[in-house]
A and B are shown apart, each in its own frame.
Chain A
Amino acid sequence: MFTDDTIVALATPNGSGAISVIRMSGSNSFSAIDKIFVGKKRISEANTHTIHYGKILDGEKNLIDDVLVSVFRCPNSYTGEDSVEISTHGNPLISKKIIEALTDLNVRLAEPGEFTKRAFLNNKLDLSQAEAVADIISARTDVSLKGARNQLDGILSTKVRELRDMLINASSFVELELDFAEENVEFINQDQLLKKIEIIIFEINTLLTTFSFGKIIKDGINVALVGPPNVGKSSLLNYIVKESRAIVSDIPGTTRDVIREEVSINGILFRLHDTAGIRLSKDELENIGIRRSQQTVIDADVVILIGDVFTGIPLELVEKINGLNANKKIIRVINKIDLESNLKPVADIYISVLNGVGINLLFNKLVQISNGSNVYSEKSAVVTSLRHFDCLKNAKESLLNGILSIKNKISGEFIAVDLRNAANSLSEIIGEVTSDDILNNIFMKFCIGK
């Protein structure tokens, strides 16, 4: 039995389905789940092979999802360690949030095949299972080789390899001073070394920011349509999906639920949510709809704030949305420009759903705003995997430690520890870094040998 670190990963395919299962294994599994799970019973007190209903809350005590937690006590689990399996609603966003909440609690993301590794190390696998898992592991490699994102992965590993080479280069300067102090070589000064490391951090940061875009590639963008009643939200949605799913009528407050449609614009998946008009109503049913609308706004990446030439975009609505989430990306749209009005409302885009005017402008704006400042080109590396994101984050953290050590004028062998850790984190994405790499670099660049 290994009593050290605890690992977590999504056990079911990453995508929408009836349920998703997150698996966690290691000695801290129960204490970690208890920190985010609220149910009748604490998991750490539950019997093995029992299932518990409850809620999972994030760090700010916000509800992530209703879940079922299955408890497996050591040694009666797949890995042979204390384990839990969390069944959630089958939305990748939910599982991602739960995994993020757990990784904040000293649980780390599992490496590929690591549960099986542990199962093996703990003597849990028999022949038939072992063979089955071996097939799965090799099959996964094959698939990933031929997979649709092959190109993207290749670009990312090229980029990471480039960063790793820069890091090896910086490390070799540190090692040079340690192993070849007696040689007549010029050592790097502190500022030069800092600069080298800062450039690497800058590059890592750039990669880290692509994760939001990477998520878009993988998970799509949530767009909420918000506006006063009867300005044409549902008509816009209908127009966009060319399908009459939302109920369209002249009576304010007709849309009482959130209607969702998925459309692809320029190859990006947009998930459009039509909301009930946000306003106070005496109608109880409608109020439920309003509350749901608010949640939709909170979850959205982009909000389309829509008004018409008569209402404009009410200021209190803007404030309300900012109150729900201040950093939302907002597109202000005025509909019904085919009608005459004395108002000259200010907006980003002017459209007429009736005539189909301005819709293309809206599409362009959507694509543009969701990319943020990252203009996506097929040649730039994009991080789409949470595991890669984590590796990059760890590498950055090690490098920041290294910078601190350099600034505190701590001797090179300690700085080397941080740089090596950073290199190891990067190598988890692409493969091993050995001390040979560093020595090779030294021999290539410096005249060594007295």
Chain B
Amino acid sequence: MKKFDIIVIGGGHAGIEAACAGANMHCSVALITMDKFAIGRMSCNPAIGGTAKGHLVREIDALGGVMGKIADRTGIQFRMLNKSKGPAVWSPRCQSDRKLYSQEACKLIVSTTNLDIIEANVIEILSENKKVLGIKTSDGEIIFCSALVLSSGTFLNGLMHTGLKSTVGGRFGENAANGITQSLINLGFESSRLKTGTPPRLKKDSINWEKLEEQPGDEFPQPFSFQTEKKQFPFQRQVSCHITYTDENVHKILEKGFSQSPMFTGIIKGVGPRYCPSIEDKIVRFADKKQHQLFLEPEGLDSDQIYLNGFSSSLPAEIQLEALHKIKGLEDVIMIRPGYAVEYDFFPPHQVDLTLETKLIEGLYFAGQINGTSGYEEAAAQGIVAGINAAAKIKHLPELILKRSEAYIGVLIDDLVNKSTDEPYRMFTSRAEHRLLLRQDNADARLMKYGNKYGLIPKDLYQETVRREKLIINGVELFNNIKIHARDINAFLVTKESAEIDSTETISKLCKRPELSLKEIIKINGTENIPLVQELNDDKIALEKIEIELKYEGYINRQQEMVERLERYESAKIPLTLNYSTIKALSAEGREKLNKVKPRSIGQASRISGVTPSDISILLVYLKS
């Protein structure tokens, strides 16, 4: 009889994080996949990070996850997005070598102790008395476990569409997973369908590159991981992406295929992501737009394939090819594989708790696309939370629930649980109401304490972070107190076209002026000779963070105050056993939603869609009974 502490089903980005977190927390873990060579395979674009997604990767890394490390080792172009904006919305992104990424992920899994890979096709989830027992494979084998993380991506009853042809499968060339959905429905779960799509892959040599606009990476690339040695980075040769556009001729050709579109003819029932529409969808919805931007992204350093970002399509292959030939630079292009749409089962996420454990079956966790999200980073973020919580439950450690004011991961899971979703959910910075506090550069300060608590972060790295945080606090305090005299600084201010001061001004106040940098101000009048400032000069990261804190202090404080004001509602707990049906005064919809979600706090209850402010008042009052 095989028994593991934790079974993880699926070797995608969620599964990898869950399996590694569980194993590194000293649980015995089995990662079950239908194809062990598909571990860490990037199903869609060969890229990690992006706006808000880059934040997620940094947070996963601060918790002790692996996505950032793998991305750093296999990235072939690194860019910090939004660099022209304030630091809160800077987002790291990289192009990855698709093959290397998967190899590196596989290597990491294999080298992790306590972690076994099992190649099998799971057909049933087993449980007893609302508690998970294990799984059954298509060979009839039963494997037992204390906790189960289900991260099956697009594979549950996966159905791929190109034109009016549909093929059973979860990803090009791979089988679908059938059976799991039905076994969960039998246990009382509610499932629904979603759709996502991917663009055609093109042959590199057949593209007229000289006609295209080049988009190089950053001159000084930054790694994702707090643990990546800067000296070795970047590990791979760096390459460029290219940009081209569709035009009205292209659109006309695509329109010819609409009668054979699985989307428009109603063959596809699942809801697709609005922020990542297919090219045919864009033409219909934005008919007045005469061109659409397309990115040609390299699939890898020695790959002969190019990924055409922005041209996701499920039109017939011959229409896709005909349209491609009308695009500048793609006149002679060879299409290696057409774009396709894939439909799959997901389980509306109000069925999981903030720990990602399902409310119906104890010990069963859902992570990734099964919860209705899209994107590698969103999946990985859930994977690490599910993995940590599964292991924490086994080891009797406190559960991990991140607050909305603490992490994008907290926003992600809170949104899923409270608002559920009926389309693929993607992270955006605008989803985070405390955005200014959740910077990618301070993910370590925000979250490494948890990584440390669960033993997923090296001790010395954590101590280094703690030391730096202290240094930052002391630095801010110091600069609040050091005053500079007018006679010492006015000449400098004139050179910076900055208003002169009358008598004295603190360094903090001076630093708030956009035209002045902290580095320059501390050069004035021997400030640099103060021992603490010398220490800061040796730790550029700390100095940079202090500068951000000082420059945006007013805004940061205002957000902080808002967090504190809301905190009391977050800390007003609701017992999970509360039966809302007995509270007559609640609105009918509020009662139904509260019964479904079973919020943990008044704050969480107030975010559930359909629960009104007066429901909350009634709840507050009722709870004292």
| Chain A residues packing against B (C-beta within 8 Å) | 2, 4-5, 112-113, 116-117, 120-121, 123, 125-127, 130-131, 133-135, 137-138, 141, 175, 177-184, 410-414, 416-417, 420, 431-432, 434-436, 438-439, 443, 446-450
> In angstroms, how far is the closest chain A Cβ from the Cβ of B194?
16
Q: A127-B624, A447-B277, A449-B282 are in contact. List 15 more A-B contacts (CB 8 A).
A: A112-B613, A113-B614, A120-B624, A121-B568, A123-B624, A131-B621, A179-B52, A182-B81, A183-B293, A413-B436, A416-B435, A417-B558, A431-B612, A435-B431, A449-B310
Identity of the chain B residue whose Cβ is nearest the Cβ of A136 in the assembled complex: B621
- Collect the chain A residues with CB atoms within 8 Å of residue B398's CB: none
- Measured in the bound complex, the distance between the Cα atoms of B618 and A130 in whole Å is 9
B51 in the interface, Cβ–Cβ < 8 Å?
yes
Q: Contact: A137 with B428, CB < 8 Å?
A: no
**Residues of B close to A182: CB separation below 8 A:** 50-51, 81
Establish whether residues A184 and B85, one from each chain, have CB atoms under 8 Å apart when the complex forms.
no
Contacts A417-B558, A417-B559; A436 near B419 (Cβ below 8 A): yes
Contact B435 A447 (CB under 8 A): no
Q: Does B617 lie within 8 Å of A112, measured CB to CB?
A: yes
Report yes or no: B82 in contact with A120, Cβ–Cβ below 8 A: no
Question: B430 at the A/B interface (Cβ < 8 Å)?
Answer: yes
Is there contact, CB below 8 Å, between A127 and B436? no
Tell me, yes or no, whether B495 is within 8 Å of chain A by CB: no
Complex CA gap A175/B309 in Å reads: 22
Give the dominant DSSP class at A's interface: helix
Chosen A-B contacts, 23 in total, with CB atoms closer than 8 Å, are A112-B613, A116-B620, A123-B624, A130-B621, A134-B618, A134-B622, A138-B614, A179-B429, A181-B85, A183-B293, A410-B86, A411-B84, A411-B85, A412-B85, A413-B435, A414-B552, A416-B430, A435-B430, A447-B282, A447-B285, A447-B292, A448-B277, A449-B274
- Residue of B whose beta carbon sits closest to that of A440: B274
Q: What are the residues of chain B within 8 A of A130 when measuring CB–CB?
A: 621-622, 624-625
Query: With an 8 A cutoff between CB atoms, is B454 at the interface?
Result: no
The 4 nearest A-B residue pairs measured at CB: A184-B293, A411-B86, A447-B286, A113-B617
The answer to whether A413 and B81 touch across the interface, beta carbons within 8 angstroms, is no
Contacts of B51 in A (CB 8 A): 178-182
CB-CB under 8 A from A126, the residues of chain B are 624
CB-defined contacts of A116 to chain B, threshold 8 Å: 617, 620-621
Q: Which of B555, B609, B620 has the most CB of A within 10 A?
A: B620
Q: Known: A127-B625, A184-B292, A431-B613. Contact between A178 and B564, CB under 8 A?
A: no
Task: Indicate the member of B286, B435, B436 with the most A CB atoms within 10 Å.
Answer: B435
Smallest CB gap from A133: residue in B: B621
B612 to chain A: which residues have CB within 8 Å? 431
Which residue of chain A has its CB nearest to the CB of B312?
A449
Residues of A within 8 A of B625 (CB): 127, 130-131
Interfacial chain B residues near A413, Cβ < 8 Å:
85-86, 88-89, 429, 435-436
A398 nearest CB across to chain B (Å) = 11
B348 to chain A minimum Cβ distance, whole angstroms, is 16
User: Which residues of A sit under 8 angstroms from B289, Cβ to Cβ?
Assistant: 447
- Provide the bound-state CA to CA distance between A145 and B504, in Å: 60
Known: A179-B430, A447-B286, A449-B277. A414 touches B621 (CB 8 A): no
Instruction: Establish whether residues B433 and A435, one from each chain, have CB atoms under 8 Å apart when the complex forms.
Output: yes
Q: For chain B, which range describes its interface: under 10, 10 to 19, 20 to 34, or 35 or more residues?
A: 35 or more
Does the CB pair A134–B275 fall under 8 Å?
no
Any A CB within 8 A of the CB of B295:
yes
> Could you give, for residues 69-84 of chain B, a 1 whenever the CB lies within 8 Å of some chain A CB and a 0 otherwise?
0000000000001101
Q: Which residue of A lies closest to B554 (CB)?
A: A414
Alpha-carbon distance A175/B613, docked complex (angstroms): 27
Does B2 belong to the interface (CB within 8 Å)?
A: no
- Cβ of B309: which chain A residues have Cβ within 8 Å of it? 450
With a cutoff of 8 Å between Cβ atoms, the chain B residues found around residue A113 in the complex are: 614, 617, 620
Measured CA separation A178–B82 after assembly (Å): 7
Looking at the assembled complex, report how far the CB atom of B307 sits from the nearest CB atom of chain A, in whole angstroms.
11
**Given A4-B565, A181-B81, A436-B419, A414:B555 Cβ within 8 A:** yes
Whether A137 contacts B617 by the Cβ 8 Å rule is: yes
- By beta carbon, the residue of chain A nearest B623 is A120
The answer to whether B621 and A141 have CB atoms under 8 Å apart is no
B80 to chain A, nearest CB (A): 11
| C-alpha spacing A443/B294, complex, angstroms | 19
Complex Cα distance A137/B619, Å?
A: 11
Asked whether, in the complex, the Cβ of B617 is within 8 Å of the Cβ of A414, the reply is: no
Are A178's CB and B430's CB within 8 A? yes
Picked from B293, B294, B564, the residue with its CB within 8 Å of the CB of A4 is B564
- CB nearest to A412 among chain B residues: B85
Q: Does B585 contact A (CB under 8 A)?
A: yes
In the assembled complex, the Cα of A112 lies from the Cα of B552 at a distance in Å of: 34
Contact in complex: B82, A181 (CB < 8 Å):
yes
B572 within 8 A of A: yes
A231 to chain B, nearest CB (A): 56
Closest to B83 in A: A181
